[in-house]
């Protein structure tokens, strides 16, 4: 299933993407007299209960004539998860990206954080701060946790995942380099587009075999496969769960492949007017335009 968060009539809504359009779950539930979670976070946390509610709604809609579907071309997309307790990022997790960055392939995962202030949705503009020049793109597979997770084994780690989506770990490189800690160049407002869909695990057979790519103004910049990860999704979840309890809705960004601007001899930094498209096999296309402050 492909879930979407969007704004309609000033309210945050949850939808399901169907072949013919988007089903507004709140509107459908009201029409059918059924219950539905009020937020994506509630939907994720309620697990099997919400799954059955959504299935009942979809069944009811399929039997109803003339139910209005929303056109995704006119949807105001929001980040698929808007208020995660944690956003954990993994740096240097693709071998060739570590090499292009002039760094060794790490022996252990390199973690840093972003926060909810960075989250924006598909098609939202990214406002580039005044005076920041070295703005960079990073297409990443994003993992959304589905249940409280502590001390999970690698073999069982993927069972804790609710779904997958696309993240663009935008980075201000000159700020990132100010200290050995990367946060200052990573946690800027609007520097984490996330979406367009939250794709449930049943539609992703192997998170370690997904093509991912990034284009800027139609020019291919990144083109790789999640098979090149140093640490797999399962290994990352297991490792993190040793030191913290992962909660439903937590987001883990699993790293970016080679091809970022920083790794080029004359870096083509992002500038106002640039359109960045991040794509991951089976997860859709995440599109954002850069604009001046």
The whole-number pLDDT of residue 198 equals 99
Mean pLDDT by runs of 10 across the 293 residues of the chain is: 96 94 94 92 94 94 83 97 98 89 89 98 98 98 99 99 99 94 96 99 98 98 98 99 98 98 96 99 99 96
Q: Quote the CA–CA distance of 193 and 231 in Å, as a whole number.
A: 23
Sheet of 126-128, strands arranged across: 126-128, 284-292, 275-280, 211-216, 219-225
Report the alpha-carbon distance of residue 134 to residue 93 in Å, rounded. 21
**For residue 104, what pLDDT is reported?**
84
pLDDT number for residue 77: 99
**Cβ distance 258 to 224 under 8 Å?**
yes
Dist CA 246 CA 242 (whole Å): 10
Task: Tell me which residue of 92, 4, 94 sits closest to 40, measured CA to CA.
Answer: 4
Q: Give dist(CA 268, CA 200) in Å, integer.
A: 35
DSSP 228: G
Q: What is the CATH number of domain 81-292?
A: 3.90.850.10
Answer whether 244's CB lies under 8 Å from 220's CB.
no
- At 64 the pLDDT is 74
Q: Given this model, what pLDDT does residue 212 score?
A: 98
pLDDT of residue 67: 83
Domain boundaries along the sequence of the chain: 2-76, 81-292
Residue 285 CA to residue 82 CA, distance in Å, equals 19
Q: And the tokens for 50?
A: 């919400």
Q: What is the per-residue pLDDT for 194?
A: 99
CB 230 within 8 A of CB 98: yes
In terms of pTM, does the model score above 0.85? Answer: yes
Q: Identify the pLDDT of residue 280.
A: 99
Which CA distances in Å does 150 have to 160, 162, 169, 238? 10, 15, 26, 8
Handedness of CA 241, 242, 244, 245 (dihedral sign): positive
What are the tokens at 107? 């022996």
Give the other-Cβ count within 10 Å of 162's Cβ: 23
């Amino acid at each position: 299933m492909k879930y979407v968060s969007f704004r309609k009539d000033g309210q945050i809504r949850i939808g399901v993407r169907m072949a013919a359009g988007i089903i507004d779950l709140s509107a459908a539930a009201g029409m059918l007299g059924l219950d539905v979670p009020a937020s994506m976070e509630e939907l994720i946390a309620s697990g099997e209960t919400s799954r059955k509610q959504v299935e009942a709604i979809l069944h009811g809609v399929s039997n109803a004539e003339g139910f209005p579907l929303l056109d995704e071309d006119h949807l105001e997309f929001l980040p698929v998860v808007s208020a995660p307790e944690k956003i954990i990022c993994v740096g240097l997790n693709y071998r060739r990206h570590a090499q292009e960055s002039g760094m060794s392939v790490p022996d252990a995962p390199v973690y840093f954080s972003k926060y909810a202030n960075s989250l924006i949705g598909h098609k939202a503009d990214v406002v580039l701060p005044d005076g920041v020049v070295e703005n960079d793109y990073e297409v990443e597979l994003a993992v959304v946790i589905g249940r409280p997770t502590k001390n999970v084994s690698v073999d069982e780690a993927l069972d804790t995942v609710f779904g997958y989506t696309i993240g663009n770990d935008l980075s201000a490189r000159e700020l990132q380099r100010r200290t050995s800690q990367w946060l200052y160049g990573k946690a800027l407002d609007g520097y984490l587009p996330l979406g367009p869909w939250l794709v449930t695990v049943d539609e992703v057979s192997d998170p370690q075999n997904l093509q991912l790519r990034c284009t800027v103004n139609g020019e291919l910049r990144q083109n790789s496969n999640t098979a090149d990860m140093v640490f797999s999704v399962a290994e990352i979840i297991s490792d993190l769960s040793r030191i913290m309890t992962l909660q439903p809705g937590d987001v883990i960004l699993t790293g970016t492949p080679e091809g970022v601007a920083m790794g080029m001899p004359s870096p083509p930094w992002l500038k106002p007017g640039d359109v960045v498209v991040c794509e991951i096999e089976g997860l859709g296309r995440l599109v954002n335009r850069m604009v001046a402050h």
